[in-house]
Structure 1
Amino acid sequence: MTYCVGMVLDKGLVLMSDTRTNSGVDNISVFRKMFSWQVPGERMIAVMTAGNLATTQAVVSKLEERTKEPDERETTLLNGPTMFTVATEIGKLLRQTIREVQEDNNTTSRFTASIILAGQIAGMEPRLFMIYPEGNFIEASSDTPFFQIGETKYGRPILIRGYERDMSIENAVKLLMVSFDSTLKANLSVGLPLDLMVIGKDEFAATHERRITQDDEYFRTISSNWGDALKSAFESLPDYSLDSK
């Protein structure tokens, strides 16, 4: 399983993903699920993947190959005229790859995948998309300012309660860490290390990147203090009386 979150802020985009993959309790590995491409001063594009590992790796490899094909100007991450165009092409590629894998394995299941696409092209606003296995996609808006893929249910309540579009990048990172900590505590199929990327508005670069490991002091502090804060909040609630009706 996987947990990835992409978030739109007034100040840019914040992305975080875990790195755990497993095929049973005795076969757990670490694989990167966040990938990025850049044209300095012109565009910054990142994707996060969830689903069948062979499928997502094939899609990322094909995207990487397309960045090396200068003649395919309308179908590459580095030459698509808009983020909408990039999302459309990634959707087509995802759908095509899933179909090919299913045909090769003579099945219609197991090989699905989904992608979060984030980035900004010069002259346009930062944009965030959720791309589904069928190749269609939706864009983040004021009503849906963040996307999750993978094991979403444990970390979602944290995001819903804490997110504000005008919050600082630092607070957004802290919010994501609490969301991931809650997910890690509840589901063993999501695990450290975590990958963090900040794409500052109009920077066209990863303005901050970090891999968060088991020994990361800040993450351990967040995890410990959040647990203590929850216990304190619970204990401050009014007591229930067994005599009440």
Structure 2
Amino acid sequence: MTYCVGLRLDRGLVFMSDTRTNAGVDNVSRYRKMFTWTQPDERVIVMMTAGNLATTQAVVSMLDERTKAPEERSPSILEVPTMFQAARTVGKVLRDVIRESAPSQGPDAESPFKATIILGGQIKGAPPRLFMIYPEGNFVEASEETPFFQIGETKYGRPILVRAYDPDMSFEAAVKLMMVSFDSTLKANLSVGLPLDLLLYETDSLAIKAQRRIEEDDPYFNLISDNWGEALKSAFASLPDYEI
């Protein structure tokens, strides 16, 4: 399984993904699910993937190949003029890969090759944008009403995002929020696992602000995990008891 979150702030974008994939309890592996394409002072594009691993790897490979040898009818994501066009390009590649993987299936058939993508970033001359791209190739954009997207195992990490998110929060607070969301998911679902990949993008910088991998022995993540558990116990104990 997978857990990835893309968060839109007033000051930029925050991305975090896990690295665990599994095909049963005895077949667990680690694969990167966060990918970037950058041009200094011109654009930063970040993509996170969830779903069939063969599908997502094929999508990433095709996007990479187009940046090295662009096709006339299929511009690379380093050439498109807007993030909207980048989302359209990624959506088309995803749809084509899924169709080619299961050519005998009808358009309404449930495909085992499905995948979902979070795409975000900024191209010079336009504001940062964040999209969620579906297996069919269509997509939706983050907004004030829907400021973050999750893909993969979403339910365990969602409550803290809904309750604690603030568009004006600092990057430091946003990272803390993400870590709590991921810790809640890790505790509840063994199919999501460390290490985690984190990336911060600051509006109009046109460069990655920070990018790092959070390993099992990361002191800050472990501090957040321990303190969050104690804080939940304390908050629960402080609630009034039910009267029988």
Identity %: 67
1:48-197 alignment to 2 at 5 Å? Answer: 48-70=48-70, 72=72, 75-103=75-103, 108-197=110-199
More deviation, 71-80/92-101: 71-80
Which consecutive unaligned segments of at least 5 residues does structure 2 have? none
Contact 1:46/1:118 (CA < 8 Å) preserved in 2?
A: yes
Measured in 1, the distance between the counterparts of 2:178 and 2:220 equals: 13
Q: Normalising by the residue count of structure 1, what TM-score does the alignment of the two structures yield?
A: 0.96
RMSD over aligned Cα atoms: 1.5
Contact 1:73/1:80 (CA < 8 Å) preserved in 2?
A: no
How many correspondences in the alignment? 242
Contact 1:102/1:108 (CA < 8 Å) preserved in 2?
A: no
Measure how far apart 1:241 and its partner are: 2.1
* Structure 1 pair 3–218 and aligned structure 2 pair: CA distance change class (3 A): same
CA deviations on 1:16-71 (whole Å, 9 max, x unpaired) are 00000000000100000000010000000010000000000000000000111245
Which consecutive unaligned segments of at least 5 residues does structure 1 have? none
Measure how far apart 1:103 and its partner are: 2.2
CA deviations on 1:103-149 (whole Å, 9 max, x unpaired) are 28998521100000010001110000000000000000001000000
Measure how far apart 1:239 and its partner are: 1.3
Tell me the secondary structure at the aligned position of residue 21 of structure 2.
strand
* Structure 1 pair 74–216 and aligned structure 2 pair: CA distance change class (3 A): same
Measure how far apart 1:72 and its partner are: 3.9
* Structure 1 pair 43–74 and aligned structure 2 pair: CA distance change class (3 A): farther
More deviation, 99-108/149-158: 99-108
Q: Normalising by the residue count of structure 2, what TM-score does the alignment of the two structures yield?
A: 0.96
Contact 1:50/1:149 (CA < 8 Å) preserved in 2?
A: yes
Tell me the secondary structure at the aligned position of residue 197 of structure 2.
strand
